[in-house]
Structure 1
Amino acid sequence: MTTTAPAANQEPAQGPVPEVFHKTDTAYALDRTGYSASGRLFFQHGLFKDVTGSVINPRILADLRESAGATDGDIELKVADIGTGNSAWAQDVARGAGVTGFKFDVHGFDISDEQYPPSHILPNNLKLSVADALVTPPEELHGTFDIVHVAQFAVVRPLHDDPGAAIDHALALLKPGGWLQWDEWARDTNNHVGMKKLAPSPRCEWALGVSSKVFPEWLIEGNLADHLSKHGFVEATRFKYEPRPDQLPALTMLWFLTGDELVRFGYEEPTRSLFLEALAGAFAETRDPSIRAMFSTATSSVVGKKPSSG
């Protein structure tokens, strides 16, 4: 039996969410060319920073400060941002990342430069280049960086079953003793984003059930730290951040912005219509004064250290 998502004025469809979805053939399931996509990235970065309270995980900076020992000046760190997009994170780090005692030399990489800002407005300590994060990096970049940052790679389809290619790429870029920080919007092991609501919200539940089918197991099950350990990282740890209640409206809007972009650029008919109807029904429940559903999407950073020797 074919199931469809409910329109805003209908009861939710019964039965399981379909297992078969009609994807486009693109490796990146979001948009690179439109202004709304780049705007979402800036919004996403600011919200992630607001929820986590930092741009670079404090565990990383504390270890690198300790490794540097006594110093009379700022500790200089080389940072790579893999899949930099519009360079929102990279620009923040280049401008100091809100921390003291460090100077950052930042290099952003992406397989496409379509979202890069004009070079003349970038900080002098930020460089942007085109590179593929799923292949071995050029030899001259091996062992170059103190920190490698990866974010939101759950929509990179070649990594759906195994994120190992990107992990190996990051490991090659790092100096011995350097750190990887991998940021994602977290989901729980029941394939659901958390919700806050005043009454039952069946259309939101339907939309979450549909969306849970498009993300990889390593994100849904939260086992990315295990993958890092398997590929040679030590001290692999997952940090999960629960948002404050006042952050939920913004997180909810980010969920819809991302979902709408994913639907329009990552899927073909009839799946596209299924997703769009699911989003419309869910959004209606977020505006219904008797329900006022909000998505409590958690954020997570998985960090791991490249062994200092061996």
Structure 2
Amino acid sequence: MSTNQPYVSFHDGRRAPQLGFGTWQIPEADAAAAIHTALEAGYRSIDTAYIYYNETGVGQGIARSGIARDELFIATKVWNNRHGHDSTKAALRESLDRLQLDYVDLYLIHWPVPMEGRYIDAWEAMIQLRDEGLAKSIGVCNFQVPQLQKLLDKTGALPVLNQIEVHPYFQQAELRAYQADHDIITEAWSPLGQGRVLENPALVAIAHKHQASTAQVILRWHLQSDRMAIPKSVTPARIQENFNLFNLHLDDEDMARIAALDDPEGRIGPDPDQFHLMKG
């Protein structure tokens, strides 16, 4: 197990492991085993969400680990149909019940759903949840610059991080620059581009140069760019491999070659300004 895991510091004074374990698309029945494998590999940060329908399994994996709660960093998210003062607060309490936890380290708004216009209500509720100690830190996912600015203008409080789609084919430089200017950490979801970038010749060449896997190269690129990342896998060997990258270092040439892969049209997931799925 690697012992030199890097951390990032939040503007609220807390910190989090830079590399976390994502659980999107991990079925409930497989979640506990996947969490066990990830924690055995050395992960201490686990990311889930109500809409993943695996919070119960994630909680079971955490409970069986025997690892002290204060050594873990657990994040979950409020879904789009629960934006509102009372509904957002109730949603977290329900998530805590499923996770078998007294608090989460990070609570996130999963999507802004700007067409509904209720993310400010959700954010105000999350500030209260933070003040009550049920969420140690609060953040958002998939917010664009205007929505982040509106949080600041309306409440005076900015998220500690924004979890967004970032991978070599879609790097979101403008949004990341705004976040850096406002001390908002960028966390990459689908950091490996859902596997679409793994066969890229430039990335394969960099991996060969360092005798590493392509996935390790991409994840190391995220870390050296001061981002958090949450790769997901249910394969034990892949879970371990993704974590064993802290002795890898990319040079300036490697970083420049990856930067050159950026495509403004490379988004894989939904456009946050248009996404408004409310069923949950």
Asked if these proteins are the same fold (TM beyond 0.5), I'd say no
TM-score (ref. length: structure 2):
0.31
Larger % of helix: which?
A: 2
TM-score (ref. length: structure 1):
0.29
Structure with higher RCO (Cα < 8 A, 6+ apart): 1
Larger % of strand: which?
A: 1
